[in-house]
Amino acid sequence: MKAKVLLVEDEADLGNVVKQYLEISDFEVDWLQNGKLAFEKIRKDPRHYHIVLIDVSMPEMDGFQLAEKIVGLGHDIAFLFLTARNEKADRLHGLKIGADDYITKPFDVDELVLRIRNIIRRIPAATPINRGTIVRGDVQFYKDTLKLHIGRQKEIVLTPRESELLDYLFRNENRVLRREEILTQLWGENDYFLGRSLDVFISRLRKHLSASKLISIDNVYGVGFVFNVQE
């Protein structure tokens, strides 16, 4: 299994070179040029990446701000800084935030690869990721075992169809979902009996999720539902 890297670098030439070199070195790389977009991607699936490489000087949200928000998620995500800022105060600040390394530009890409591999090797949180797990704020959904955890509440075991529906809702969060769309996409047809079953499943999930501070299911009269996920 390839290690997954998120590169956050707004300099196009450098980002392209680092991405290509890491891919040649057998990493799977996503590259974003905006700190806000990077945080949103991480927030939606904190365990998707083994490590995040962060440029410090970026518009809208700088690397230090991004790192602080990543740490605030509470999932021990590995990250290191790539930056032209080599002042001692900056290095200390980055390490105090929780960075696993601080590499100044220009740097040797072979050295970067070795440092990434060393970090991944020594951090348990960066070992193979459970692709069957969805984490959003105070909610953890384990698709493979049909289990739902909400904050400190007791573990909830879902039925297979409830689990299918919740997975679909997570994949389509914060948008209006028509009833007929849900039924045909999940179960292949839109009929009266499946529609009644859908209402029951939605009701059960809404009851479970009432314990969450960040997630809810709202009705859209005459249309369907919205699965609301707050940051």
Q: Answer whether the bond into residue 124 is a cis peptide, omega within 30°.
A: no
pLDDT score for 126: 36
Could you list the beta-strand ranges (E) of 36-112.
51-55, 79-83, 101-104
* Upper half-sphere CA count for residue 64 (Cβ side, 13 Å): 11
pLDDT score for 48: 82
Q: What are phi and psi of 11, to 5 degrees?
A: -85, 110
pLDDT score for 215: 93
Locus of tokens 């698709």:
143
Could you list the beta-strand ranges (E) of 93-200.
101-104, 133-136, 139-142, 147-150, 156-157, 176-178
Considering the chain, tell me which residue range(s) the CATH 1.10.10.10 domain(s) occupy: 159-229
Domain spanning 3-126: which CATH class is it, in words? alpha beta
3-state secondary structure of 180: helix
pLDDT score for 1: 64
Question: What are 188-215's pLDDT values in tens digits?
Answer: 888 888 888 999 999 999 999 999 989 9
pTM: 0.56
- Can you name the residues that pair with 148 across neighbouring β-strands? 141, 156
Considering the chain, tell me which residue range(s) the CATH 3.40.50.2300 domain(s) occupy: 3-126
- Residues in the chain with pLDDT < 50? 124-130
> Domain spanning 159-229 has what CATH number?
1.10.10.10
- The separation between CA 26 and the C-alpha centre of its own chain, rounded to angstroms, equals 22
pLDDT score for 106: 85
Q: CA nearest 139: which of 228, 225, 201, 70?
A: 228
